[in-house]
Amino acid sequence: MATNIKTSSLTTPGIVAAVENAETLGKPESSDEPVTKRVRLEDCKEQTVTTTDESQQDALITSTVGLRRFKRIPIFIVDYHNDVLEFIYRCLASRHLPLENNTLLHFDSHPDMVISREIPASAAYDKETMLGELSIENWIMPACYAGHFNRVIWMKNSWCKQMPVGKYNFKVGHRGNKISVDCPLDYFISEGNYCETSELEQARDLELQVLTTTLKDLPIRKLILAADDCLNYILDIDLDFFSTSNPFLEIYKDANCYEQLSEIFHFESATESNASGTTEKRKQQLEVLKKIFEHLEEKRTFQDMTKPDTNIVSEETFKKIENLADSLQKCYADDEIDWLVIFDSGSTTDTNGLPHHISTDTELELYYQQFKQFLIQLPHPPVLITMACSAEDDYCPRNQVIQERVVKILQEVFQEKVHEKPILHYMDDEWDVMQL
Identify which of 43, 48, 13, 18 has the alpha carbon closest to the alpha carbon of residue 33: 48
Residues 139 and 175 in one domain: yes
Looking at per-residue pLDDT, the higher value among 171 and 23 belongs to 171
pLDDT of residue 38: 28
According to DSSP, the residues that pair with 174 across neighbouring strands are 179, 201
What integer pLDDT is reported at residue 313 of this predicted model? 95
Annotate 216-248 with b (16+ C-beta within 10 A) or e (fewer): eeeeebeebbeeeebebbbbbbbbbbbbbbbeb
Among 330, 348, 366, residue at a domain's last position: 348
| Residues 158 and 184 placed together within one structural domain of the fold | yes
State pLDDT tens for residues 163-174. Answer: 999 999 999 999
The answer to whether 73 touches 386, Cβ cutoff 8 Å, is no
146 and 77 in a common domain:
yes
3-state secondary structure 408-427: HHHHHHHHHHECCCCEEHHH
CATH of the domain at 400: 3.40.800
Please report the pLDDT score of residue 392 as a whole number.
92
**Using CA atoms, how far apart are residues 10 and 271, in angstroms rounded to an integer?**
51
Report the pLDDT averaged over residues 314-322.
96
Structural domain of residue 278, as residue ranges?
A: 249-348
415 Ramachandran zone, left/alpha/beta (phi>0; psi -120 to 50): left
Measured between its terminal Cα atoms, the distance across the chain in Å is: 45
Q: Say which residues have a Cβ less than 8 Å from residue 375's Cβ, sequence separation at least 6.
A: 235, 409, 410, 413, 414
Q: Are residues 101 and 205 in the same domain?
A: yes
**Among 348, 370, 398, residue at a domain's last position:** 348
Question: What does the mean pLDDT of the chain come to?
Answer: 84
192 and 278 both lie in a single domain? no
CA angle 143, 221, 354 (to 5 degrees): 55
For residue 142, pLDDT over 80 is answered with yes
Regarding whether 253 and 238 lie in a shared domain, the answer is no
Residue 271 confidence class, pLDDT cut points 50, 70, 90: confident
Distance, CA of 311 to CA of 285 (rounded, Å): 9
Beta carbons of 245 and 395 less than 8 angstroms apart: yes
188-199 tens-digit pLDDT: 999 999 999 999
What pTM does this model have? 0.82
CA–CA distance, 191 with 197 (Å, rounded to integer): 17
Query: In this structure, are 120 and 255 located in the same domain?
Result: no
DSSP state of 24: B
Kindly state whether residue 406 falls inside one of the protein's structural domains. yes
289 and 201 assigned to the same domain: no
In a domain, 43, yes or no: no
Q: Do residues 98 and 217 both lie within one domain?
A: yes
Domain count within the chain: 2
Least reliable range by pLDDT among 113-127, 259-273, 378-392: 259-273
Q: What is the pLDDT of residues 49-106, one digit of tens each?
A: 333 344 444 443 443 357 999 999 999 999 999 999 999 999 999 999 999 999 999 9
Q: Which amino acid is at 334?
A: D
